[in-house]
Structure 1
Amino acid sequence: MRRDSLRADSIVKKSGQLPGAILPGHRIVAFYGNIRSKGMGILGREPKEQMFRKFEKVLAQWQAADPSLPIQPALHSVTITAQGAAGKDGKYRLMNSRATIEETINWAKEHHCIIFLDVQVGLSNLRAELPKLEPYLKDPIVHMGIDPEFAMETKGVRPGKKIGTYDAKDVNYAVSFLARIVSENHLPPKVLTVHRFTQGMITNYKNIKLDPRVQIVMHMDGWGSPTLKKDSYHDYIQTQPVQYTGFKLFYEYDIKPKNSHLMTPPEVLAQLTPKPLYIQYQ
C-alpha cells in the first residue's frame, strides 16, 4: 500500500486488501459519545430510540450524497476517558464498566453498526491501556480509536491543561497490538482512528508503518466554521497523509461561530480532498 494512495479518493481493489476490509469499499458514518453521558456527544445526548432515528436520517443523507459507496454505520464510544481528577493511581483516566461497554456493543449489534472503542489515556499510555480492551476487540465488529488530545504522559500536566501528543511509535504500537489480535483470532482487518486537529498532536507521521491487518484513519476532529475546518483538514490530514482520512462534524460547536453552520454531506464531499471515508458526528 503506497503512502501516496491518498491522492485517489479510494484505493483500487487490487492493492492487497484482506478479506472483510471495510475501507476503501465503504464510507463509515459514526455517532460519537458515551451512552452514560449527555455531554460527550450525540451518542448519549438524546434518548436511545430518538438518537437512532436521527442517525438513520444522517445515514440516508450520506448515501444519497454519494451512492457509489455503501455506508457502514458505526457507534464511536469513548471507553477510556480522560478525567479532571487524578484517581487512585494518579493517571487521570477512567475506563467504562464492563456493563456499559457490553451494552454499547449490543446497541451497535441491534442496529447493524460496527463500534469503535475510543481511548483517552491521560497520564497513562497505550501500552498500559489497550490490553484492557483486548477481550472486546476479539469481536469482529469492534474497532478502535486513539485520541492524542488527552495523551499527557510527555506533557506532565493533567488533561485539559494542554493539547496532548502521540508520536508515530505510539500509533505503531496500536497498529501492532490490533494486528496481533486480527491474526490470532482470524478476524477481518481492524479500523484504527487517530484524532488530529493540530500539528503537534502527531509527530513523525512519515514513520507510521502500514499493515494490511489494520486500516488507519487520520481523523480531523477540530470544530469551528467550515473554512477553519477545511483549512485544518488540508494542513494536518491532506498534506501529511498516512492511509485513509476522516472528518468530524459537531452538532453543538460547529454552529457557534458567527454565520457558521453544520456542513452538509454534499458540502463535505465537494470541498475536501481526498473525500473522507470516515465521518463522525459529535
Structure 2
Amino acid sequence: MRRQVESSGGAVGHRLRHRTRGVVVIGSAVALLLAGCSGDAPESGAPSDPAAAVDGGATSGSGGPDPVDATAGPLPPDDSDVTTAEPEVIELPRGGTEIFPEFRLFGYSGLPGSPGMGRLGIGDLDEKVEEMEERGEEYAGDRPILPVLELIATVVHPVPGADGMFRTYIPESIIQDHLDAARRHDGILLLNIQPGRADFIDEVRHYEKWLVEPDVGVALDPEWAVSEGQIPGRVYGSTTGAELGEVAEYLSGLVEDNGLPEKVMVYHQVHPGVVRDELEMEEFPGVVVIKSVDGIGAPSDKIKTYNLVNETKPDFVVPGFKLFYEEDLVLGPIMTGAEVLGLDPQPEYILFE
C-alpha cells in the first residue's frame, strides 16, 4: 500500500492543496480533451519523420575466385570485392549520442489549452519553444541547451473513468504536434505520465511506438500514482525504486534493440515519501535517469526541499530542479540562473511549469 499523506498543515499541506487545485484544473482540461481521448491502445502507424533504421549488414561483390585445379589446394580468401557497411549512428537532435556532460536540459511542461498545468500549454507552440530557448540561456551555465518539451500525455483526474484507472490518454495528434515542434527546434519530447491507479510500466509501454524514436523519452509523476481505494489529489501518490527500475530496464531494451542514442527518463519528486526504497533502483545502459525536485515556495524553502529529497538519490541518478512561473513568483521571487546553478548537486535538467 502506498503511504497516505495528510492534506493539512505545513509545507506538505500547502503543496497538496495546490496540487488538489491542480486536479480541478486537470478535470477541466480532461473535459476539453475527452472527445478525442481514449483509454485504448495507440492508433496504428508510426510518428512522422521517423529515425533512419540501423543498417548493420554487409554487401559483397558478385565475383568469385577463378576456377582452379582441385589438386592445387585451397587458396587464401579473396575479399578484395567485399565492402562492409558501417552501422548508421543515430544521434540526438543537436549531435552526439550522450546527453551529459555535453548538454544542459532546459524545458517547459504543460498541456495545450490548460494554462494551469504549465507554461507549455499557453499560446502558440513554436513561440513557446522560442521563449523557452531564450529563457534557458540564463540557466545553461557553460553548456549548450538541449530544449525539452515535457508534454502531459497521461492525464490524471478525480473520477475513475470507464476502466477505473483515474487517468486519460490525450489524443495522439497532440503528441505528434509536439514531436514535430521539438524537431523543428532540435529538441526532445518527454511524455509526462500521471498514472492514477495504473502501473507505470503499463503506461510507458502504451507509448512504445513513440519511444522507439531517438528524440522521445518519459517523465514519471509518482505523486499522482495512487493505490486501490485512494483518489488522486486527496493524498500524495507514490512509487518505489523497483518500479522505477522496471521502467528503466524496459527503456534500455528499446535503446539496444533500435540502435538509439541515450534516452531520458525523469521522475518528479516533491516529498521524500513519494519515492520509497529508492536505492533499490538499478542502473541500465542507454538510459539517463533524472530526479526532478518539485518543491514550491520561496527560494529558501525550495532549497531545503531540494537538499532533503536528494538525500536518497542513487549515485547514478542525475539531479533536476523545477521552477513554477506562477507559484514561485507569488511566494518567491523566482530563483535566478546563478542561484539554481549554485545548488549542490548542480541540476542537469531545469524545468519550468
Q: Fold match, TM over 0.5?
A: yes
Percent of aligned pairs with the same amino acid = 30
The 5-angstrom pairing of residues 13-92 of structure 1 reads 20-63=97-140, 66-67=141-142, 69-92=143-166
Paired residue for 1:159, among 223, 229, 232?
Answer: 232
Give the match's secondary structure for 1:116.
Answer: strand
> Could you tell me which residue of structure 2 aligns to residue 11 of structure 1?
none
Contact 1:149 1:163 in 2 (8 A): yes
Contact 1:238 1:273 in 2 (8 A): no
> Could you tell me which residue of structure 1 aligns to residue 336 of structure 2?
264
Contact 1:120 1:150 in 2 (8 A): yes
Encode CA deviations 1:51-89: one digit per residue, 9 max, x unaligned: 2342132122223xx12x221111111110111221101
Amino acid at match of 1:32: S
Q: How many equivalent residue pairs?
A: 257
CA shift in 2, pair 1:213/1:149, >3 Å: same
How far 1:239 moved relative to its partner? 5.0
> Could you tell me which residue of structure 2 aligns to residue 173 of structure 1?
246
> Could you tell me which residue of structure 2 aligns to residue 255 of structure 1?
329
Whole-angstrom distance in 2 between the partners of 1:146 and 1:39: 19
How far 1:129 moved relative to its partner? 1.3
Encode CA deviations 1:123-151: one digit per residue, 9 max, x unaligned: 11123211110000111000111111100
> Could you tell me which residue of structure 2 aligns to residue 234 of structure 1?
307
Give the match's secondary structure for 1:180.
Answer: helix
Contact 2:278 2:312 in 1 (8 A): no
CA shift in 2, pair 1:159/1:231, >3 Å: same
Amino acid at match of 1:171: L
Encode CA deviations 1:150-181: one digit per residue, 9 max, x unaligned: 00026x31110101100111101110111111
> Could you tell me which residue of structure 2 aligns to residue 278 of structure 1?
349
Amino acid at match of 1:77: L
Give the match's secondary structure for 1:39.
Answer: helix
How far 1:197 moved relative to its partner? 1.4
> Could you tell me which residue of structure 1 aligns to residue 67 of structure 2?
none
Contact 2:279 2:312 in 1 (8 A): no
Contact 1:238 1:274 in 2 (8 A): no
Q: Identify unmatched segments of 5+ residues in structure 2.
A: 1-95
Whole-angstrom distance in 1 between the partners of 2:104 and 2:127: 23
Whole-angstrom distance in 2 between the partners of 1:239 and 1:125: 23
Whole-angstrom distance in 1 between the partners of 2:264 and 2:125: 25
How far 1:256 moved relative to its partner? 2.1
User: So what's the TM-score if we normalise by structure 2?
Assistant: 0.70
Whole-angstrom distance in 2 between the partners of 1:183 and 1:267: 38
The 5-angstrom pairing of residues 82-161 of structure 1 reads 82-153=156-227, 156-161=229-234
Amino acid at match of 1:280: L
How far 1:49 moved relative to its partner? 4.3
**Runs of 4+ residues deviating >4 angstroms:** none
Whole-angstrom distance in 2 between the partners of 1:50 and 1:86: 35
Whole-angstrom distance in 2 between the partners of 1:24 and 1:157: 40
Whole-angstrom distance in 1 between the partners of 2:202 and 2:188: 25
Contact 1:39 1:45 in 2 (8 A): no
Encode CA deviations 1:21-78: one digit per residue, 9 max, x unaligned: 2023211001111124222100012333442342132122223xx12x2211111111
Q: Identify unmatched segments of 5+ residues in structure 1.
A: 1-18
Give the match's secondary structure for 1:100.
Answer: helix
Encode CA deviations 1:184-220: one digit per residue, 9 max, x unaligned: 1111121110100111101111111011211110110
Encode CA deviations 1:74-115: one digit per residue, 9 max, x unaligned: 111111011122110111001111111111111111111111
Whole-angstrom distance in 1 between the partners of 2:287 and 2:113: 29
Encode CA deviations 1:212-255: one digit per residue, 9 max, x unaligned: 21111011012111011100110112553442000000000112
Whole-angstrom distance in 1 between the partners of 2:210 and 2:132: 24
> Could you tell me which residue of structure 2 aligns to residue 224 of structure 1?
297
> Could you tell me which residue of structure 2 aligns to residue 16 of structure 1?
none
